[in-house]
Structure formats: structure tokens, C-alpha cells
Homo-oligomer: A and B are copies of this chain.
Amino acid sequence: MDTVSDFTLCCPIPISQYPQVLLAHGSGGKLMHHLIEKMIGPAFSNPLLDARHDGAVLQFDGLRLAFTTDSYVVRPLFFPGGDIGKLAVNGTVNDLAMCGARPVFLSLGLILEEGLPMDILWQVIRSMKLAADAAGVQIVTGDTKVVDRGKGDGIFINTAGIGVIAHERVIAPQSVRPGDALLLSGDIGRHGIAIMAVREGIEFESAIESDSAPLVEPVSRLLDEGVEVRCLRDLTRGGLASALVEIAEAAGVRVNIDEASIPVRGDVQGACEMLGLDPLYVANEGRFVAFVARQDAQRALAILQAFEPQASLIGEALDGPAGRVTMTSRIGASRIVDMLSGEQLPRIC
């Protein structure tokens, strides 16, 4: 279904196969991809939406703006290294940064559950204010709804954001070329493990803190220094693996990554093993990948390492098959990396 003429009364997802929405439809993995590609994307199809980027790039004569939205339903509301308010600012700020934009304005939509302690609401609002100041954005418009007890879960937050794109580059999956270098901005897996540990009551020797952080500065630096940036993507739901498969599909390239070059902290690796998780699929809230022109790879790496010493060159884009992501393991074997299947960690953001 991809034309208006197909826009019928009939549900484009086979009801016999998926009669109901599952948690995995919000996982960032295969089922979410299916829902977007089969139902939501075709229904609203237009060139901006069809770009399937972290945000839409809007043209107003002479001015380019990025526009994006995310809802946040993380539980628990507070966790080591952050809370839903900090996530709701940084997540949307980062989606704008991934479009190569400088984030400027946010909207704030609150859905509160009746009975939420007023002081909890205040802690979240306060955290949003601190995060907004840290990221250099203003919250300029908002809305508050309250739902009956048992029809929500404390606080859900939506933020939409507008950023200014002050350069001419097209930073999008479509710009990735075979031969481009693939950089990762730091170690992976901390956000998901931090959430999981609180939720499951698991204690580690030292607390694993979420990596939640605004990514505006490293992205600005890459652009200001003239690095030929092709595509940026932050590694939230679905983790590194799902992000790479999405980009490889949209860009029509193959991507190969080198397992040994992907930084994972020892305690995170240990927690993943204990919980049966693969760090490639664990969510991050302050990490991104950058595809850059090969000749700029070392310069880009130095810039990213100035922010996070663990930033690494982890792979490259290659000629087809389009959408294929492979990983060279520590012992030299090659395996296919797929998108997250099912739901690994629900409500991670």
C-alpha cells in the first residue's frame, strides 16, 4: 500500500497475523518497523515523512528547519543517571542534532495520571528545565492532560522540537555512500542496563548510570570543523544493531562492523550476560553513530574522542546487498546482524 488509491477502509496490517498491538510494536525493532512501513508511513506518505529520518527537514525560502517528536513512557520515572524529564528533553534535542540542526525550541505535552504526587511532577518539571538549559533550548508551548487513575502510568511526556540547520549538507541515510567510515560516539548499553537494573532490583558493585546526555556539542563540532558528515543516528530503542539496519536499508548499502572495536564497559557486559541481553540491541540515550566520508574519518574520530575517549571507528558502508549489516567477530568470523526481533526491554524511554 503506497498510493492514495490504496487508502481504503481495510487495515493494511493482516488482522489474522496481528489482531492487536503488542509491546514489541513499540520496541524500535522489527514489529515497529512493520507497523511504520505498512500502516503509518503509507497512510501519511509525503516526501518529508518518507525520508524516514529522526526528524523532518522543512524548507521555508532560505531557511531550513528540523522538526521532530517523541513521547516518553519510561518506567521507573527516576533511574541512575536520569529521569523521564531529562530523557524527554535530551531525546528530542538529540533527534534534532541527528538532522544536523541546532535545537532551539521544544513543546511539552504532559499526560498525567490522576493521583500522581504533586512533588513527583515538580521533580520532573525541574529536571526538564535543567536539561533544557544544558542543551540550550527553550520550552515555548505546552499542554497538560490528566487521565483517570489506572488509565495512565504516572507521567507520559511528549516533546516536539524545532532546530535550525545552518549549513547546506543533506544529513540523511540517503547520503551514505559505499566507502564511508562509520564512527560510534562512545560505549554502548548503559541506559538500557541502568533502567533494567532498577526495574528488576539488581545491584551491581557500582551503579550503572544511564548515558542520557545532549549530543548537540559533538555534532556541532563535526559540522563546524568541516567533516563531510553523511548520516547521523542516535542509538535509542533497538540499540546499535537496529539503527544500522534501518540506515543500511534506507541508504541501499551494506554495512560491516568490527565487534572488537565496539566499546562496552565491563560492568555493562557482565550485566548483559547475566540478563541474557546483547549490548548491540540495548538502548542508549547519549550515543550516536556517524557515517562520514572516508578521508575525514580520523579527523572525525579525534573530535568525538575529545568528548568521549571511548569513541571509535567501528566499521564502514560497502556496496550491497542493500540493507545487510554484518559483523566481523573477535575471532574473525562474519555474521549477519539483524534488527531487534520482539521486545527486549519494554518502556526504556
From A119-127, A239-247, A309-317, the one touching the partner chain is A119-127
Known A-B contacts A21-B118, A112-B25, A162-B162; A346 and B146 likewise in contact (beta carbons under 8 Å): yes
Q: State whether B9 touches A346 (Cβ < 8 A).
A: no
| A105 surroundings in chain B (CB, below 8 A) | 48, 56, 58, 67
Known A-B contacts A15-B118, A15-B119; A71 and B110 likewise in contact (beta carbons under 8 Å): yes
Specify the chain B residue showing the minimal Cβ separation from A60.
B63
The residue from B32, B162, B347 contacting A144, defined by CB atoms under 8 A apart: B32
Specify the chain B residue showing the minimal Cβ separation from A92.
B143
- Grouping DSSP codes into helix (H, G, I), strand (E, B) and loop, the A interface class, with mixed when no group exceeds half, is mixed
Known A-B contacts A11-B118, A56-B105, A138-B48; A71 and B143 likewise in contact (beta carbons under 8 Å): yes
Q: State whether A121 touches B21 (Cβ < 8 A).
A: yes
A207 CB within 8 Å of chain B? no
| A143 surroundings in chain B (CB, below 8 A) | 69-71
Q: Which residues of A from 1 to 58 have beta carbons under 8 Å from B? A: 7, 9, 11-13, 15, 18-27, 32, 35-36, 39-40, 43-44, 46, 48-49, 55-56, 58
Q: State whether B107 touches A7 (Cβ < 8 A).
A: no
A151 CB within 8 Å of chain B? yes
Question: Which residues of A pack against B, CB within 8 Å?
Answer: 7, 9, 11-13, 15, 18-27, 32, 35-36, 39-40, 43-44, 46, 48-49, 55-56, 58, 60, 62-63, 65, 67-73, 105, 107-119, 121-122, 125-126, 128-129, 132, 138-148, 150-153, 156, 158, 160, 162, 164, 346-347
